Amino acid sequence: MGKERFGWTEPTRSVEDALEDAFPGGKGWQSVRFVEDSGNLTWTMGRLAKWVKEELLGNRNPFWRHGDKVPVPMNTEFDTGDQLGPRHWVGYSRRQICFIVAKSLLGAGTEGYQNGLLRFLEKKTKHDIPRKGDFGRSWWGLLAACAADPLMENGQQGPQLLVAKAEEYSEVSVVRELAKRVSCGDASLRVCRYDDGGNGIVPSELTEVPEGGCKQPAAGHPGNDFMAGGLAGQATHDISAAWLGGYVFGNAAGLGGGQDERLMVYFPEVSALSFFLSQDSKQPQAPQLRQPVWILGARRVFTGIDGTCRYNNPPMLDPAVPMTSDLLTVELNGRRYRMSSSRPFLAFMSENQGFITDPKGPKLDRAMHLIRRNKELRQRNVDPNSKWSFEKQVRAWYRAVALSSYPDHVQPILQAIVTSVGAGPWLAGLWFGDSQLGFLASWLGHAIAVGSWGGSGKLPLDYYIYSAFTENPGNQCFVHAKALCHACLAHCAEAPLPNESFWLPRNAYFGNFSSKSCVPDEGNDCGEKGFADVLRAYKSQPASALWDDLEAALQESQGNTSMTVFDLLLQT
């Protein structure tokens, strides 16, 4: 895979005008003093404007080694929709990313390369233009953090960021063979019951996510989960679409959408890279980086987000965002770099998007209500000829998490930085899969993948359970056994749930659009067995045993969805 270098077109607006677009009359601007800013300065709009003009854009171009042009990878071998091919990587310094962001906010493009970042910033939506909405404010917040970064003083490049793409799919048969050699317990599962109606209590025989990564929300503020952060080195799993950032292009200027879309506001370096690394001429509605991909060195710059998304309007710049305290020294291609280790970012999707093919109408509406209750037969697909079957979900998790999927040069950096993977109801969010199967696919895929990291204990899976995850609220309650499931569903129904916390199709609501976002407790939807029962039964068994038993149980049920997946699996 080669690369090309691109110069910049002239800007179309001044720094002051661009700031005014995002913060008209100063409205919404948050003057901030960062804890790790060695200059101990308060960053006002005026001070930031001066820094961008004089220090970032007025000094030596951070791409001077490339003739002041931006190097972009050129993927010509694979039709991925972005510029990065499978098992390839690209790196930029923080100063370089801030330079790209500032140029784009001022309306400057790249000559000969229609990068998605500028296109997104200028794309009109029914709400606003993104550079005037939350995304514009997010990237100005990033520039404020860059201005305060001690590692960018005096023209320094700052820490390194790295984007690494996974390999193409392996055959399912390869993953099945690997499953015979590992134990389900190799996933080193740790659990956080995050605001699910159980006060965070995890059964004593299970392992809990360490306290730093599992803190309950209180007093109208989020706690610590895998989206809010708190556990050093824990990867934030972006439950993405086929491309990072989901369906924001042309649809959103600010907060809204599912988990994937919202994370892009809080991780502005991630969203900038996602858009900049694609021009997507073949599918122009989504100039965004394709999954599965690691983004290393990025930071969560804003506070207010968690898996419930109840507290995230407006995002607030985090004065405590690390700048020096989270740095590690890594080696890449024989050179040493400093890199942030606080929030490694892993994006990948499940393979069940679009598995419900009914046309719009009453039939689809009925199916959607069954789906959200884990009662739709098509959720339980185990046909090896189907692209939505359970085996494809296990393979998807394995492919995205396995260390061996990524470039050889990047693997030691991943091992140095990533300490665990934090995840929620993958497969069962806006793709509306069965939450019990989502848990099983995650557990199986992770157990198989960690062999490439060195085996059991090398990369724990931190699994977070919610009563009201931002996508499909209430559905994850069904991973609990009966009593806990009922309590979880009741908590979802009772808790304050602002409309803007969710992005569900209208036919996914149970009645009134403004108040019936949670799955209702129908009495018999909660099963006798929960995920803890499955763990007890299979923790010491080969991953292949669980995989085989599950598919056999679903095949033998012959379309009867009156019993839950867990109950079918564990029935005697």
Distance, in Å, from the CA atom of 287 to the CA atom of 228, rounded to the nearest integer, reads: 27
Adjacency order of strands within the sheet including 293-296:
89-93, 160-165, 293-296, 345-348, 234-239, 420-423, 461-465, 190-193
Categorize the per-residue pLDDT at 46 as very low, low, confident or very high, splitting at 50, 70 and 90.
very high
Is 284 a residue whose pLDDT tops 80? no
Is 383 a residue whose pLDDT tops 90? yes
Q: Are 409 and 89 in contact (CB under 8 A)?
A: yes
Domain boundary assignment for the chain: 2-158+243-280, 172-229+346-570
Distance, in Å, from the CA atom of 345 to the CA atom of 371, rounded to the nearest integer, reads: 29
Distance, in Å, from the CA atom of 279 to the CA atom of 16, rounded to the nearest integer, reads: 28
Q: Is 296 helix (H, G, I), strand (E, B) or coil?
A: strand
Predicted confidence (pLDDT) per residue in 94-120, tens digit:
999 999 999 999 999 999 999 999 999
Picking from 11, 169, 197, the residue whose alpha carbon sits closest to that of residue 87 is 169
Q: What is the pLDDT of residue 297?
A: 98
Q: What is the pLDDT of residue 530?
A: 97
Is 205 a residue whose pLDDT tops 90? no
Is 454 a residue whose pLDDT tops 90? yes
The residue written with tokens 């998490």 in the block is 401
Picking from 334, 337, 344, 326, the residue whose alpha carbon sits closest to that of residue 158 is 337
Distance, in Å, from the CA atom of 483 to the CA atom of 433, rounded to the nearest integer, reads: 23
Is 518 a residue whose pLDDT tops 80? yes
Is 500 a residue whose pLDDT tops 80? no
Distance, in Å, from the CA atom of 262 to the CA atom of 312, rounded to the nearest integer, reads: 9
Is 283 a residue whose pLDDT tops 80? no
Looking at residue 121, what DSSP letter applies? Answer: H
Q: Are 467 and 474 in contact (CB under 8 A)?
A: yes
Categorize the per-residue pLDDT at 282 as very low, low, confident or very high, splitting at 50, 70 and 90.
low
Is 514 a residue whose pLDDT tops 90? no
Average pLDDT value over all residues in the chain: 94
**Better-scored residue on pLDDT, 205 or 226:** 226
Predicted confidence (pLDDT) per residue in 533-560, tens digit:
999 999 999 999 999 999 999 999 988 8
Is 215 a residue whose pLDDT tops 80? yes
Lowest-confidence segment of 68-72, 119-123, 251-255, 431-435 by average pLDDT: 251-255
Q: Percentage of the chain with pLDDT > 70?
A: 97
The residue written with tokens 């679009």 in the block is 354
Q: What is the pLDDT of residue 77?
A: 81
Predicted confidence (pLDDT) per residue in 62-93, tens digit:
999 999 999 999 987 887 889 999 999 999 99
Is 32 a residue whose pLDDT tops 90? yes
Categorize the per-residue pLDDT at 497 as very low, low, confident or very high, splitting at 50, 70 and 90.
low
Q: Chain centroid to CA 59: how far? A: 35
Q: Are 287 and 403 in contact (CB under 8 A)?
A: no
Predicted confidence (pLDDT) per residue in 144-196, tens digit:
999 999 999 999 999 999 999 999 999 999 999 999 999 999 999 999 999 99
Residue type, 311: Y
Distance, in Å, from the CA atom of 392 to the CA atom of 560, rounded to the nearest integer, reads: 22
Predicted confidence (pLDDT) per residue in 394-408, tens digit:
999 999 999 999 999
Q: What is the pLDDT of residue 515?
A: 63
Q: Is 339 helix (H, G, I), strand (E, B) or coil?
A: strand
Categorize the per-residue pLDDT at 56 as very low, low, confident or very high, splitting at 50, 70 and 90.
very high
Give Dmax over CA atoms of the chain in angstroms. 73
Q: CA geometry: angle at 457 spanning 86 and 459, to 5°?
A: 30
Categorize the per-residue pLDDT at 498 as very low, low, confident or very high, splitting at 50, 70 and 90.
low
**Ordered alpha helix ranges (H), 35-79:** 45-51
Q: Are 486 and 329 in contact (CB under 8 A)?
A: no
Picking from 5, 245, 48, 278, the residue whose alpha carbon sits closest to that of residue 140 is 48
| Residues 30-48, mean pLDDT to the nearest whole number | 96
Q: Is 210 helix (H, G, I), strand (E, B) or coil?
A: coil
Distance, in Å, from the CA atom of 432 to the CA atom of 434, rounded to the nearest integer, reads: 7
Predicted confidence (pLDDT) per residue in 5-16, tens digit:
999 999 999 999
Looking at residue 11, what DSSP letter applies? Answer: P
Q: What is the pLDDT of residue 503?
A: 80
Please, which residues have CB within 8 angstroms of residue 8's CB and are 6 or more apart in sequence?
Answer: 70, 103, 108, 109, 110, 111
Categorize the per-residue pLDDT at 22 as very low, low, confident or very high, splitting at 50, 70 and 90.
very high
- Taken as a whole, the chain contains a residue count of 572
**Better-scored residue on pLDDT, 495 or 557:** 557
Categorize the per-residue pLDDT at 2 as very low, low, confident or very high, splitting at 50, 70 and 90.
confident
Q: What is the pLDDT of residue 281?
A: 64
Distance, in Å, from the CA atom of 394 to the CA atom of 396, rounded to the nearest integer, reads: 5
Lowest-confidence segment of 254-268, 365-379, 496-510 by average pLDDT: 496-510
Predicted confidence (pLDDT) per residue in 297-314, tens digit:
999 999 999 999 888 778
Q: What is the pLDDT of residue 513?
A: 58
pTM, full prediction:
0.96
